[in-house]
């Protein structure tokens, strides 16, 4: 039987270098948190869990995104991962964990990392751009007791976790052997993190993802740069509303203006029927 998959987005970091909470940073009319949760949600079976710091205010999120709090603030990502695992362990076998500051994440990358976890592995962690990437990795939910033990010992750094015997490293060649990753994320930008204001400005200045838009009743499809459904609709000359929704190939129907889009997406909009 195939593993049941879920997602965890860590939103409770202190954002000291950024100088402002990352979760609420604007991204093409949406927020970094909304984008991260939406992209991961497109690649997993079970709900996405957002882990926040105690009392942390978050931007508006869809009703199907679950919110939990860290048991204690400032204890690092291991504490957040445990909080997420405790929330979802009975509904998933494997989770993809990401930080909130990964706006170039691609659903194909998430699926690739999740599929890379073998039966004997506890963690599948990308090792690219010179570093292991524990906040872009797949974890078996059964690893929760070991994480809790590390936290009790105040061994809060992720390298203590990655020192275990059942960790699979995914080097660039392995990641790019996935055809969808190679086509849509050849530079592995899914691993780009925004730690400081200059990182955010540089990433925000990049072109939005290239998507293909079809409109019902029109013979030709068109390519646009759009990071959200609202941007794609506007580019096609449409206004989202009860009669204007889109089929996002591989994801189903959506009318959510903040629905995050990724490179290679194909959307078909319904035009409102004329009276």
Which pLDDT tens digit goes with each residue over 26-56?
A: 999 999 999 999 999 999 998 999 999 888 8
| 192 within 8 A of 102, measured Cβ to Cβ | yes
Q: What is the pLDDT, as a whole number, of residue 124? A: 96
Q: Are residues 57 and 172 in the same domain?
A: yes
Task: Report the number of distinct structural domains present in the chain.
Answer: 2
274 occurs within a structural domain: no
| 89 within 8 A of 95, measured Cβ to Cβ | no
Instruction: Share the mean pLDDT of the chain.
Output: 91
* % of the chain at pLDDT higher than 70: 96
Q: Are residues 9 and 57 in the same domain?
A: yes
Where would I find the H helices in the chain?
A: 32-41, 77-88, 107-115, 144-152, 158-162, 172-176, 179-184, 197-204, 229-235
Q: Are residues 222 and 176 in the same domain?
A: no
Q: Are residues 117 and 221 in the same domain?
A: no
| CATH number of the domain where residue 214 is located | 3.10.20
Least Cα distance to 35 among 61, 67, 63, 7 occurs for 61
127 occurs within a structural domain: yes
Q: Are residues 170 and 110 in the same domain?
A: yes
pTM listed for this prediction: 0.94
Ramachandran quadrant class, 242 (left: phi over 0; alpha: psi -120 to 50; beta: rest): alpha
Q: Is the dihedral of CA 48, 9, 97, 36 positive or negative?
A: positive
Q: Are residues 68 and 185 in the same domain?
A: yes
Q: What is the pLDDT, as a whole number, of residue 270? A: 85
Residue recorded with tokens 């990071």? 227
| CATH number of the domain where residue 115 is located | 3.90.550.10
Q: Of 199, 231, 256, which residue constitutes the final position of a domain? A: 199
Which residue range forms the structural domain that includes residue 260? 207-269
Q: Which of 130-134, 149-153, 166-170 has the lowest mean pLDDT?
A: 149-153
Q: Are residues 223 and 183 in the same domain?
A: no
Q: Are residues 180 and 265 in the same domain?
A: no
* % of the chain at pLDDT higher than 90: 72
Residue 194 tokens, joined = 């925004």
- What backbone phi and psi angles, to 5 degrees, belong to 169? -90, 135
């Amino acid at each position: 039987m195939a593993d049941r998959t879920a997602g965890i987005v860590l939103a409770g970091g202190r954002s000291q270098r950024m100088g402002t909470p990352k979760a609420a940073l604007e991204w093409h009319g949406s927020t970094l948190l909304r984008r991260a949760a939406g992209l991961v949600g497109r690649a997993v079976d079970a709900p996405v869990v957002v882990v926040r710091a105690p009392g942390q205010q978050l931007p508006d999120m869809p009703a199907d995104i679950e919110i939990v709090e860290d048991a204690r603030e400032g204890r690092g990502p291991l504490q957040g991962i445990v909080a997420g695992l405790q929330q979802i362990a009975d509904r998933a076998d494997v989770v993809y964990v990401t930080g909130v500051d990964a706006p170039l994440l691609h659903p194909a990358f998430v699926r690739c990392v999740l599929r890379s976890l073998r039966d004997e592995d506890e963690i599948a962690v990308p090792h690219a751009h010179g570093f292991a990437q524990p906040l872009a990795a797949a974890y078996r939910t059964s690893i929760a007791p070991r994480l809790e033990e590390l936290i009790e010992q105040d061994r809060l750094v992720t390298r203590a976790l990655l020192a275990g015997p059942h960790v699979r490293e995914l080097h660039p060649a392995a990641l790019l052997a996935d055809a969808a990753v190679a086509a849509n994320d050849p530079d592995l930008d899914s691993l780009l993190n925004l730690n400081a204001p200059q990182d955010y400005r540089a990433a925000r200045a990049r072109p939005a993802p290239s998507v293909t838009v079809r409109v019902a009743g029109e013979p030709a499809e068109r390519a646009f740069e759009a990071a959200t459904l609202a941007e794609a609709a506007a580019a096609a000359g449409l206004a989202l509303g009860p009669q204007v929704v889109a089929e996002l190939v591989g994801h189903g129907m959506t009318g959510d203006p903040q629905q995050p889009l990724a490179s290679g997406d194909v959307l078909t909009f319904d035009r409102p029927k004329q009276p």
